[in-house]
Amino acid sequence: MPARDHFHSVMRIGPVQIGTHRDRHGRTQHAAVCTADRCGWSSDFSSRSAAQLAARTHRCKVR
């Protein structure tokens, strides 16, 4: 399962993993990454609640 090295504060909602990391501008970003094989969905959010909402509403193409 893909995991970014610099993730911390990782939590999981369904197949989606949420981790906090810093982008290359030094800002804290909350990334939501689907861990399902062949899905590949991931997205960065500026707030944790936005990432959690996206994780809850993510509709995985892969079952």
The rounded distance, in Å, linking the Cα atoms of 63 and 49 is: 25
Stretch that binds Zn ion, among 2-10, 22-30, 43-51, 55-63 (CB under 5 A): 55-63
Task: Report the candidate in 16, 8, 2 with the shortest Cα–Cα distance to residue 50.
Answer: 16
Say whether residue 13 binds Zn ion (CB under 5 A): no
Pairing of the two strands 16-22 and 8-13: antiparallel
| Shortest Å, Cβ 32 to Zn ion | 10
Say whether residue 10 binds Zn ion (CB under 5 A): no
Chain residues in the site for Zn ion (CB under 5 A): 34, 36, 39, 41, 60
